[in-house]
Amino acid sequence: MKTPSRVQALAERHFEDTVTIRRRIHRRPELSFEERETADFIAQQLRTWKIAFRSPIGGHGIVAEVPGRASGPTVALRADIDALPITEATGLPFASERAGVMHACGHDAHTACLLTAVRILSQLSEQLNGTVRALFQPAEEKLPGGAGAMIRDGALANPQPRVAIGQHINPTLPTGSIGIRAGAFMASVDDLYLTVHGVGGHAAMPDQLIDPVLIASHVVVALQQIVSRGSSPEIPTVLSVGRVIADGATNVIPPLVEMAGTLRTVDEKWRATAHELIRRTARKTAEALGGSCTVRIVEGYPVLWNDEALSERVGAYAAEYIGRKNVQQLPLTMGGEDFAYYGQLIPACFYNLGVCAPGKAGNPDHLHSPRLDLDEAALQIGSGLLAWTAIRELQAAE
């Protein structure tokens, strides 16, 4: 296949079905590790199209395969299927029917696009010089994530795919475009949990107490110096404390303060060093003020690294499909993604699909917003581009 015209025609033919699938998933969102109904729905679609699959993989994950006309390498395509604990405020006629749960990160669109891509590929199997493996992955939004569990259950085995490719919506990019970045693209993600211990009592008698609220305040400030003075200016790093619970009162100093935050960076060696600095800084700061501090660091997703050679090829395939002018270079982001685990084992590329409708300067309703919506015209592009990318990558392996 020299041009994407057949893929584009099928993406257009199946567009209404793609929208229907997306809206069905959007109405019935499920949180990480709870995606039973979503998985059943995906399986139902695959059965209808007579596409072979295995489940459950890594929890509620599904691995589907489309074999080609001849033996050859395998290319993996991935979509995440879970939702977020957010109350939807879009007012859409297909808004979430589940209170407090919403597809606010586009996973409904990712799943719909990959399902249609697999459908297209099954109809063009004679064009495949190998096998396309579709990974419908649960639990991207919550540590420890579903990617590692899918890998442990064999999602990348027998045989190991040549590459892994993932697509994610971006409401700041216009429909009809994609964004891509080679090398380090997304940050590592670690959750920080700190408990400052003191001696509580009457707020009018601070001389008789060890005030954990004051100590916690010093700890927060001291932690910021790890980034400003401990890290190289050449290594992007974010350390944020987003939760501080001091359960006292106007006249009560509590005995302890609980805090939680996040560490993000794009260098794995510095990441390990930062963990030690966080523990030492928090502990020593609290001790200097008469209290103590326990620190628990939950290591999350690693740095997401886009293989340079694969990213160049994916960009070229996209240029063939949507035109070179519609392929944009993305900046580094401090957001995180468990797609990074695939890239630790095989060359991987994670790119963004523009979903901002024409005429908008950029969708202000960002990812994880209760008002997030997307231009559904982008689903036609996203599904076709995934299929075209798989076809071309198998051709490149010849």
State which H helix or E strand residue 131 sits in: strand 131-137
Residue 365: band (very low, low, confident or very high) from pLDDT cuts 50, 70, 90? low
Q: In this predicted model, what pLDDT tens digit does every residue of 20-32 receive, in sequence order? A: 999 999 999 999 9
* Tokens matching residue 98: 């589940």
> What's the mean per-residue pLDDT of the chain?
96
Residue 364's pLDDT is: 53
Find the range with the poorest average confidence among 15-19, 69-73, 335-339, 391-395.
Answer: 69-73
pLDDT given for residue 366 in this prediction: 86
Give the per-residue pLDDT at 359.
76
Angle, vertex CA 119, rays to CA 170 and CA 19, nearest 5: 45
User: Which pair of tokens denotes residue 253?
Assistant: 């100093």
Which residue is associated with the tokens 């041009």? Answer: 3
Catalytic status, residue 82? yes
Percentage of residues of the chain with pLDDT beyond 70: 98
pLDDT band for 361, please (50, 70, 90 cuts): low
Q: Which one from 88, 108, 140, 375 is the annotated catalytic residue?
A: 140
pLDDT at 341 exceeding the cut of 60: yes
Across the range 345-350, mean pLDDT stands at 98
Q: Model confidence over 87-124: pLDDT tens digits? A: 999 999 999 999 999 999 999 999 999 999 999 999 99
Q: What is the DSSP string of 266-279?
A: S-HHHHHHHHHHHH
**CA–CA dist 77, 65 (Å, integer):** 10
- The yes-or-no verdict on residue 363 having pLDDT over 60 is no
Domains and CATH numbers, the chain: 5-187+303-396 (3.40.630.10), 195-299 (3.30.70.360)
For 60-85, give one letter per residue: b (16+ CB within 10 A) or e.
bbbbbbbbbeeebbbbbbbbbbbbbe
pLDDT class of 358 with cuts at 50, 70, 90: confident
Which of 168-187 are b and which e, b meaning 16 or more Cβ less than 10 Å from the residue's Cβ? bbbbbbbbbbbbbbbebbbb
Structure tokens at 220: 């927060």
pLDDT one-digit tens code per residue, 301-328: 999 999 999 999 999 999 999 999 999 9
pLDDT tens digits, 248-265: 999 999 999 999 999 999
Rounded CA-CA distance 283/242 in Å is 19
Tell me the pLDDT tens digit for each residue of 176-234.
999 999 999 999 999 999 999 999 999 999 999 999 999 999 999 999 999 999 999 99
Q: Establish whether 191 is a catalytic residue.
A: no
Mean pLDDT of 288-303: 98
Q: Which of 30, 80, 82, 211 is catalytic?
A: 82
pLDDT(4) > 90: yes
Pairing of strands 190-197, 256-265: antiparallel
CA angle 384, 389, 394 (to 5 degrees): 130
Closest to 123 (Cα-Cα) out of 71, 49, 62, 53: 49
